[in-house]
């Protein structure tokens, strides 16, 4: 563990530990939360997925939306990066492509909060086996 040399170090450590605890608490009932997966393979990171993920974490928390935002590997949509998958409890997941900060804001405000579809949905081209 790092040495605490100042009050700022102590506050930083507290915030890091608190965020880890929040993630643990949320993971007990992920099905009851909005789940957002951000594709963070090389193509996604190069296209701005890291900034989109940071935005989603901050904005959903600010707006009081209970979410679990995680990173995932390649979703296979390199042509449409950054891509995110959003699953609202009780609904099928939807994948959005070409997600920048502006589109991420629309997804949070329109789709997650109000249930309105927004542009950029990537159609499902596979079947899930039970």
Q: Which domain holds residue 102?
A: 29-114
* Cα dihedral 50, 53, 57, 62 sign: positive
12, part of any domain: no
Specify the 3-state DSSP secondary structure of 37: strand
Residue 2 lies in a domain: no
- How many domains does one find in the chain? 1
Interatomic CA distance for residues 81 and 97, integer angstroms: 6
The confidence score (pLDDT) of residue 21 equals 63
pLDDT for position 13:
83
* Dihedral (Cα; 54, 56, 62, 68), 10-degree rounding: -100
Residue with tokens 């909060």: 113
Tens of pLDDT along 39-69? 999 999 999 999 999 999 999 989 988 899 9
- Supply the DSSP string of 46-102, one letter for each residue: HHTHHHHHHHHHHHHHHTT--EEEEEES--S-GGG-S-EEEE-TTS--EEE-S--HH
Residue 126 within any structural domain of the chain: no
> Is 4 part of any domain?
no
Q: What is the CATH number of the domain that holds 55?
A: 3.40.30.10
Q: What are phi and psi of 55, to 5 degrees?
A: -60, -45
Tokens of 78: 């390199």
Question: Are 57 and 19 within 8 A, CB to CB?
Answer: no
| 129, part of any domain | no
Answer yes or no: is 97 within a domain: yes
| Residue 49 is assigned to a structural domain of this protein | yes
Say how far apart CA 51 and CA 104 lie, in whole Å: 10
Q: What is the DSSP letter of 28?
A: T
Q: Percent of the chain at pLDDT above 70? A: 85
pLDDT at 107: 96
Answer whether residue 18 is part of any domain. Answer: no
Query: Which residues in the chain land under pLDDT 50?
Result: none
pLDDT value at residue 124: 74
């Amino acid at each position: 563990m790092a040495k605490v040399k100042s009050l700022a170090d102590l506050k930083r450590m507290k915030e890091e530990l608190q965020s880890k605890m929040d993630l643990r608490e949320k993971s007990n009932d992920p099905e009851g939360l909005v789940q957002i997966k951000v594709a963070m393979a090389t193509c996604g990171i190069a296209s701005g997925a890291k900034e989109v993920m940071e935005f989603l974490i901050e904005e959903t928390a600010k707006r009081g939306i209970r979410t679990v935002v995680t990173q995932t590997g390649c979703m296979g949509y390199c042509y449409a990066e950054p891509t995110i998958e959003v699953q609202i409890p009780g609904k099928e997941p939807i994948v959005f492509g070409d997600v920048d900060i502006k589109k991420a804001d629309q997804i949070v405000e329109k789709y997650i909060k109000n249930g309105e579809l927004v542009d950029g949905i990537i159609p499902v081209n596979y079947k899930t086996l039970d």
